[in-house]
Amino acid sequence: MKQTWIHSLLILLIITIFSACEEKPTIKHSGKTVEIGVIVPLSGEHVSLGVKALIGLNAAHALQPLTVTGDRIQLHIGDNNSSIKGSLSLLEKFAENTDIKAIIILLNSYGALSIKQMINKKKIPVIAAIATHETLTTQSNYITRVSSSNDTQGKMAAFFAHDELLINRVAVFYDADSVYSTSLAQFFKEEFTDIGGTVYDELTANMPADQLERRLRALQEKGVELIYTSAIKRNAIHLLQINKKFNLNFQFIGTGNMLANMKERGITDYTELSEGTFVVAEYFDDRIKSIIEQQMRRYAKKKAIEFNTHSLLAYDSYLLLRDALKNCAECSRSTLNEALRNNRGFAGISDTIRTKDGDVKRPMFINKIHNEKMYVYVKVF
C-alpha cells in the first residue's frame, strides 16, 4: 500500500470531517424542535458500551444541534439498565409520545433483536447504531442499521484471508453464547469454505486455557496459519496470550466491534497482544479519532475524550438522522422512516453512507494493528 495513497485519503477524510462537523453559520434556529428518543445502557452489564456510544452521539449533537432548516434536535436519553425489560419500557414510552419522531438505539445485536417485534408493532422509525445482525433490517420495516451486517463483515474477512493473504487453512474463535460472535463466525466459515479454503477447527472463548493451548498446538502442526476471531469475552485474551507465550505465530483477523468490546471490558493489554492483527471495520486509522476529539473539545470544553468504534457508529447515526430530517421538518413518522431507510447518501465520518431498505451501504476497511495503533491496509467497497 503506497503511503501517498494513504496520505491522500487521509487529507480527503479530514476535509470531509471538518466540513461535516462545522455548523454552518447561515443556519438559524427556526423556533421549532424535533424530538428524538435514545435507548442506551448507562447502568448494568453494558454500561461501558453505552457510555462510549453516548459520547459519540453527544459529540455529533453538540457540533450540529440544528437541522438544515433550523429546527433544533432534542434528544430524550433513556437508560435501559442493560435489560430487555428496560428497553421495552422506554420503547413503549417513546412510541406513545407523538412528539417523538424516531428512536436511536445504542444496543448490541442481542439487545436490538429483543425489541424488534415491539418496534414492528409500534411502527416507529428506529436507527440501530451498533447492532450488526442482518435480520434487524430483513425482518423489520422500521429499523435502519448503521453498522455493516455480520454477513458483510464475515464474508469480507473470508475473502481477504483467502484472496489477499493467500491462506487456505484457518480456524475460528468465537463466543458460543453471543448472537453477534456466532453469527460472524458462521458467515466467515461458510464463505471461506465456499471459495476453496478449509476450516480446521472451531474454538470457543469459554474453553479452559490448557485445552485451548493443546488445540492451538495441534492446529499449528496441521499448518493452520490464521485464526478468525469474533470473540468479545474477557477470557478471549487467552488466545493471544498463548499465541505470544509459545511463539505459535498465528495471524488473526478480528472486528472493530471486537476491539471496542475488549477495551470497554477493561482488558488493557489487548491492543499490545494484538500486534499484527487485521481488523475489519467501518473506520480506518486511529488518526480519525484524534480529529474528531479536537473538534469535540471546542464545543464540549473537554480536555480528553476517548472514542472507539461504538462512539463513531453513534456519531454516524446522528448524521444519518440529521440528513433524513433535511426535507422532513414536520413530517410524519412514516415519511421520516422512508427517508432513513432509503437514503441516497450523506457524508459520514469516513466516507459517503447510503441506506437501502434499512440496510447500510458503506465502504469497509481492513486495518492492521501496529505499535498499539490501527492503520489502514485496504479499502473495500
Rounded distance between C-alpha atoms, residue 95 and residue 49, angstroms: 24
**Same structural domain, 137 and 170:** no
Q: What is the CATH number of the domain that holds 344?
A: 3.40.50.2300
Rounded distance between C-alpha atoms, residue 38 and residue 291, angstroms: 25
Please report whether residue 249 resides in a domain: yes
End-to-end CA distance of the chain: 16
Tens digits of per-residue pLDDT, 168-225? 999 999 999 988 899 999 999 999 999 999 999 999 988 998 999 999 999 999 999 9
Please report whether residue 61 resides in a domain: yes
**Same structural domain, 139 and 12:** yes
Assign 10 a pLDDT band (cuts: 50, 70, 90).
very low
Rounded distance between C-alpha atoms, residue 126 and residue 94, angstroms: 11
SS3 207: coil
Query: Which sign, positive or negative, has the C-alpha torsion 257, 258, 261, 267?
Result: negative
**Same structural domain, 116 and 214:** no
**Same structural domain, 131 and 191:** no
SS3 194: helix
Which amino acid does the sequence have at 161? A
Please report whether residue 176 resides in a domain: yes
User: If you average pLDDT over every residue of the chain, what do you get?
Assistant: 86
Tens digits of per-residue pLDDT, 335-360? 999 999 999 999 998 889 999 999 99
Domain span including residue 78 = 3-148+286-362
* Model pLDDT, residue 137: 95
Q: Are 218 and 243 in contact (CB under 8 A)?
A: no
If you write DSSP's letter for every residue of 307-330 in order, what string do you get? --HHHHHHHHHHHHHHHHGGG-TT
- Per the DSSP assignment, residues forming a β-bridge with 203 are 173
Other Cβ atoms within 10 Å of 356 Cβ, number: 12
Please report whether residue 187 resides in a domain: yes
Please report whether residue 174 resides in a domain: yes
Please report whether residue 381 resides in a domain: no
**Same structural domain, 8 and 114:** yes
Give the least confident one: 33-37, 129-133, 271-275: 271-275
Q: Which of 218, 248, 281 is the last residue of a domain?
A: 281
Please report whether residue 370 resides in a domain: no
Assign 273 a pLDDT band (cuts: 50, 70, 90).
confident
Q: Which of 234, 250, 281 is the last residue of a domain?
A: 281
